Structure 1
Amino acid sequence: MHGLASPRIRICLMLGFLLATRLPAQGKPRFEVTETTIAETQRAIREGRTTCHQLVEAYRKRIQAYDQTTHLNTVVLLNPTALVDADKLDREFARTHRLRPLQGIAVVVKDNYDTAGLQTTAGSLALRGFVPSTDAFMVKRLREAGAIVLFKSNMAEWAFSPVLTESSIAGITRNPYDLTRVPAGSSGGTAASVAASLAEVGLGTDTGDSIRGPASHNDLVGMRPTLGLTSRDGIVPLSITADVGGPLGRTVADVAVVLGVVAGYDPADPITRGIEGKPAIDYTKSLDPHGLKGARIGVFRRYVDAPTGDPEIKALTERAIADLKAQGAEIVDPFDIPNFEEVTAKIGCGNFQADLNAYLARHAPNAQYHSAQEIYDSGLYLPSVEARFKRGLEAHPGQPNPCPDTWHDVKKIAFRKAMTDAMDANHLDAIVYPTWSNPPRKVGDLKSSGGDNNQVLSPMSGFPAITVPMGFTHGTLPAGLTLLGRAYTEPMLIRYAYAYEQATHHRQPPVAFPPLR
């Protein structure tokens, strides 16, 4: 008798738990926001199972329950008008019965994007109190699509660190999969909050690593677009020659939706002239579960076989390559770029001081400090970034613009040619490698192997790259796989990443951040 009753009891307990997590005190159905997608959320709005107002409230409850109590520490500043914005969107839907592409979707924005009415600091105490009057171009596109800016996220101060997300404005952000570890940098606040379902999707920026690294460390999808597909206007710069903004999400589909919204020509940013007059692309049309059939993908063995790489990440990568092949891709292994060391030697070029001064003059004339030198002299920064800040001031004395943009830099042109020639010779559509060769470091660990594979191939060529989850190492630590293609091949990369994602389903939520009861 007991043996027959136990399964029924378990089923009843499970049903009771599900009802408890989906029914609020007043008895009305509640939409659970944990691990949802944009499509699921908007379907719930259309069907009357939730409202924009209720979605904001649900995310705020998760933030209150988890962000500070666990020391995750992703939130710099909540948007005080988020509920007002949500109510306007609810009234619009009641009137039109139609949803804009991101209507009702709660978005977290990295704290180096100008966001009208919200303090923007780039992680620095020196910019505390600076409130932009206008949105960065990409934030403007989000709002026009109906997104709700829920909060500004913590970042590595001035976006200096690809490894650690720490700022003088908000402290250290931790990894939701292991709170003793880092979420990578500098967009770690955005990534950790999306991974913990404190928001639906987010915006990050990537100069050398800072979208793809946090995506890998937080079991997310992250896209570094082609340099020039998205506008940099209104983003506090690290290096204009390589800076690019892009989306972070829990699924390839969500990243595709957001990329389609934020991409576009901006007269205020000359780098986007390459897409002037071209029609907008609906990247969701690339979401083909069979999209790897016929793809020809090269394995960049320099990164797969990194001598200091973690054996478990290498094993995951080998398994991912086999999965790509099983889904119909033709694998070219190994693939290399001839004379790689020579064509990448001293290829980086940036002028942090000139770029920051130009941003302050144009976008932040009312900020307390008006130049990089004034900020350095103020001492308002973490001791750990002082040396990096000083190098930025000393790099190009008396040279206001020593670094051509990526498409006109002689060294980068040569590197890009070497890369495309090698891809052409092997008839490749894309290149694959582990996003990081090592798992997330412990907070405070500055000696273990880092494993960042992101600083050269995509940033120095201007080519796009997408990171997608490929599994876990050491029990709970996520790892990501990168696919890189030629300029403006985002539709192809999304197609490949989606097919791999749908075949493997490696994304798992962090167990320390379950649905609220």
Structure 2
Amino acid sequence: MARSVADAAAILTIISGRDPLDNFTFAQPPVVPDFSKALKPNGLKGVRLGVPRLFQGSDKNIIAAFNASIEIIRGLGATVVDPAEFPDAEEILASNNETIVLDTDFKVDVKNYISGLLKVPTGVTDLADLIAFNIAHADEELIPPFYTDQSEFIESENTTVDAAYFAALAADKDLGQTRGIDGTLKKFNLDAILLPSDGFTTGPAAIAGYPIVTVPLGFQPDNVTATAANPVIENAPGLPFGLAFMGTAFSEFDLITYAFAYEQATHTRLKRLAFPAAIPKTQLQDVIGK
């Protein structure tokens, strides 16, 4: 989303706020803070963080880097409770509620999105139309090896907003919020939760609808064998992975503080630079002027 925590804080300050087109935003505090004021280099001093090991995954390279980051964070003045397992961790890992909610929401939201467009040259109006359009224009839309499979679209199209959907929403709230993040923060007297992120992690923050910020933690070594695209390449030499700070509702300001302190102490992003051809030569001022 952004190159640095400072950039992310600037963007979040602008895009936050209540949106009449999104009723969920009306739950947030009426005043949006200036998140740039959260950028404190000593922001981890005196903070209590918990490590839910059941969510760390099984990648040895990521776990090794994660363990090293814990020592860095302790050196920056934080207390790290390790482990600090979620009371309902096993239930979260086994739950299929997130898939039910995602599939149903996607179908509804695609239709809402298209209906709000001023012009739709393709003539599609909903997800069913989109699936049919892709099949009719497979040479342009279903490009191997990445986008030949529409199974997720089809699975979403087969859903309805029914009792099972609302039950899944309620279960996610209980698993992610009440007995998940909030329960863990309270049980271990924590300010936030610390865990590695391989770039494909959803986990408790996703089902709870709670904030999470991720900063660079490391890169896969050059001797890692690249996986096949299915549809994306999930592991490869140099693939970046992150360190995530996760908290309760509307704790973004504090999470930015913790992430910024770690980022400034490590500058991991600069330890592996892009290929020369991938480094932008044009800056914003070149486009809009000084």
Structure 1: how far apart are the matches of 2:33 and 2:167? 25
Shift in Å, 1:511: 3.7
From 205, 225, 228, the counterpart of 1:458: 205
Query: Deviations 1:297-320 (Å, cap 9, x if unpaired)?
Result: 01121133x33x1x2221111111
TM-score normalised by L of structure 2: 0.78
Tell me whether 1:391 sits opposite 2:155 in the alignment. Answer: yes
SS of the equivalent of 2:83 reads strand
From 104, 108, 111, the counterpart of 1:357: 111
Aligned ranges 1:250-265 → 2 under 5 Å:
250-265=3-18
Aligned residue for 1:280?
A: 32
Query: Deviations 1:15-52 (Å, cap 9, x if unpaired)?
Result: xxxxxxxxxxxxxxxxxxxxxxxxxxxxxxxxxxxxxx
Contact 1:298 1:428 (8 Å CA) reproduced:
yes
Aligned residues: 247
Query: Deviations 1:449-493 (Å, cap 9, x if unpaired)?
Result: xx83x2221110111001101233315442211110111101101
Aligned ranges 1:398-417 → 2 under 5 Å:
399=161, 403-404=165-166, 409-415=169-175, 416-417=177-178
Shift in Å, 1:384: 2.4
Segments of structure 2 that go 5 or more residues without pairing to the other structure are 223-237, 282-290
Shift in Å, 1:405: 11
Bigger proportion of residues as helix: 2
Segments of structure 1 that go 5 or more residues without pairing to the other structure are 1-247, 437-450
Amino acid at match of 2:178: K
Structure 1: how far apart are the matches of 2:87 and 2:79? 21
Shift in Å, 1:269: 1.1
Contact 1:317 1:481 (8 Å CA) reproduced:
yes
SS of the equivalent of 2:91 reads helix
Aligned ranges 1:104-503 → 2 under 5 Å:
248-275=1-28, 278-304=30-56, 306-307=57-58, 309=59, 311-343=60-92, 345-348=95-98, 349-350=101-102, 351=104, 352-363=106-117, 366-367=120-121, 368-378=123-133, 379=135, 380=137, 381-382=141-142, 384-396=148-160, 399=161, 403-404=165-166, 409-415=169-175, 416-419=177-180, 420-436=182-198, 452=200, 454-475=201-222, 476-503=238-265
Amino acid at match of 2:185: M
Shift in Å, 1:400: 7.4
Shift in Å, 1:254: 0.9
SS of the equivalent of 1:468 reads strand
Query: Deviations 1:390-441 (Å, cap 9, x if unpaired)?
Result: 1111123xx47974599xx3102211111212220100111111111xxxxx
Structure 1: how far apart are the matches of 2:107 and 2:239? 37
Shift in Å, 1:260: 0.3
Contact 1:430 1:485 (8 Å CA) reproduced:
yes
Q: CA distance change for structure 1 residues 514 and 386 in 2, over 3 Å: closer, same or farther?
A: closer
SS of the equivalent of 1:319 reads helix
Structure 2: how far apart are the matches of 1:504 and 1:471? 10
Instruction: State the percentage of identical aligned residues.
Output: 29
What is the CA RMSD across the aligned residues, in angstroms?
2.4
Contact 1:343 1:411 (8 Å CA) reproduced:
no
Contact 1:465 1:483 (8 Å CA) reproduced:
yes
Shift in Å, 1:358: 2.2
Structure 2: how far apart are the matches of 1:342 and 1:479? 25
Structure 2: how far apart are the matches of 1:477 and 1:471? 8
Structure 2: how far apart are the matches of 1:326 and 1:394? 51
TM-score normalised by L of structure 1: 0.45
Structure 1: how far apart are the matches of 2:113 and 2:280? 41
Contact 1:296 1:427 (8 Å CA) reproduced:
yes
Amino acid at match of 1:329: A
Contact 2:194 2:246 (8 Å CA) reproduced:
yes
SS of the equivalent of 1:384 reads coil
Amino acid at match of 1:413: K
Q: CA distance change for structure 1 residues 274 and 413 in 2, over 3 Å: closer, same or farther?
A: same
Amino acid at match of 1:359: Y
Amino acid at match of 1:384: T
Q: CA distance change for structure 1 residues 366 and 402 in 2, over 3 Å: closer, same or farther?
A: farther
State the structure with bigger RCO (CA 8 A, min sep 6), 1 or 2.
2
Shift in Å, 1:362: 2.8
Structure 1: how far apart are the matches of 2:28 and 2:280? 42
